[in-house]
Amino acid sequence: MENPTMSTSTINTNPQFPNTKSSMLGMVGGGQLGRMFVHEAQALGFKVTVLEPEAGSPAAHAADAHIQAAYDDATALQKLAEACASFTTEFENVPASSLAKLAETGFVAPSAACVSIAQDRIEEKAFFTRCAPQTGILPAPHAVLRTAEDLEKVSADLFPGILKTARMGYDGKGQVRVKSMEELCTAFANLKGVVCVLEKMLPLAYEISVLVARGADGQAVVYPIAENVHRDGILFTTTVPSPHVSADAALKTQNAALKLIADINYVGVLCIEFFVLQDGSVVVNEMAPRPHNSGHYTIDACVTSQFAQQVRAMARLPLGDVRQHSPCVMLNILGDIWFDGDVVRQPAWDKVLALPSAHLHLYGKAEARRARKMGHITFIATSLEQAQDEMRQACVILGIAV
């Protein structure tokens, strides 16, 4: 049953369920990650209240209640606190102060302190560097640029590099490739002087992500290595198991993820991205304090999905088995495929669903826009080759360049 739009003055709940605080989970954020969390929470018998400013957001449609307000609205946070006993988020740019406020009355997983590290590339890289003696993995060489004067101190060894805003960057946003000091100065000026990090571009072989979950009791589990391909800064495909990662690199990165999540006493689901370089060495790139796009395959290919783990962690239940039962490829679906030139069309889902291994997930977004994540398809097969072949067939059907 779809919920109507709600204001901060009212919390509308699905009338078929009693609104009991112990069984109501609080979600800050209303996107597709929140929607998939809601589905898993409801499957486990919980109800979910979503705090999200956008009317008709994916998570709000699925949730039992929607408080429509800004993430830092004091009245809305109070109502969420009154309705729920535990809280989480699906968006790392939610104000950490809001999570800290909710922690005054309930259990927040992950904590505001953990989320704040991932919100700032400077803090994030400092965290990775501090933990390097334990993990054996460093971030890429980089420089922090707070003012124009800092540009003068940049080493020539960092070129070519990628200039990234320290905060609010995702899906390739707030990132500029620079090959020289002249290009760096121009790019920094175009970013209006916000605090940035310049990262040295390294000879990348491929990217992997390690998904890990940790409970309040310290129990931690780590999923199989996922190998990612990006296009224009947005995840294109995730293949699991990774077809290229060595056993040594897999073990090293999985152990590193477990050490990192324990170091900050993290509770919840965390995704850490690593770069495997052409010489086989590994550097740590960034982390997301929530379920991750590269972990969507777990819904169909693993015993316990990343969203079910998020529910279990915040409800302080035992974590689930992370075993992968089938090889798979996950394909992101962007809004571009709804357009034939300027004409809006409906993609040929009937042909896609005729592929035996295809599992389609659409996020319920009202409007398709170019480069907007609208859904994903996971291809589950008896062999990785079959999953890859059917993924390519789907791309042809949908008009996506392979």
Alpha-carbon gap, residue 286 to 273, rounded angstroms: 5
Q: Single out the residue of 337, 288, 339, 291 nearest to residue 312, CA to CA.
A: 291
Does the annotation place 201 within a ligand binding site? yes
Does the annotation place 47 within a ligand binding site? no
Does the annotation place 172 within a ligand binding site? yes
Does the annotation place 200 within a ligand binding site? yes
Using DSSP's 3-state secondary structure scheme, residue 120 falls into strand
Does the annotation place 124 within a ligand binding site? no
Does the annotation place 171 within a ligand binding site? yes
C-alpha dihedral sign at 54, 287, 259, 96: negative
Does the annotation place 252 within a ligand binding site? no
Alpha-carbon gap, residue 102 to 127, rounded angstroms: 25
Does the annotation place 164 within a ligand binding site? yes
Alpha-carbon gap, residue 276 to 144, rounded angstroms: 23
Does the annotation place 207 within a ligand binding site? yes
DSSP strand pairing (358-362 vs 343-344): unpaired
User: Longest Cα pair distance anywhere in the chain, in angstroms?
Assistant: 64
Angle at 95 between CA 9 and CA 272, to 5 degrees: 130
Does the annotation place 99 within a ligand binding site? no
User: Which position has the token pair 């609205």?
Assistant: 73
Does the annotation place 341 within a ligand binding site? no
Does the annotation place 174 within a ligand binding site? yes
Q: Single out the residue of 296, 297, 352 nearest to residue 32, CA to CA.
A: 296
Does the annotation place 263 within a ligand binding site? no
Residue ranges for the known binding site are 121, 164, 169-175, 199-202, 207, 230, 285-286
Residue ranges for the known binding site for ATP are 121, 164, 169-175, 199-202, 207, 230, 285-286
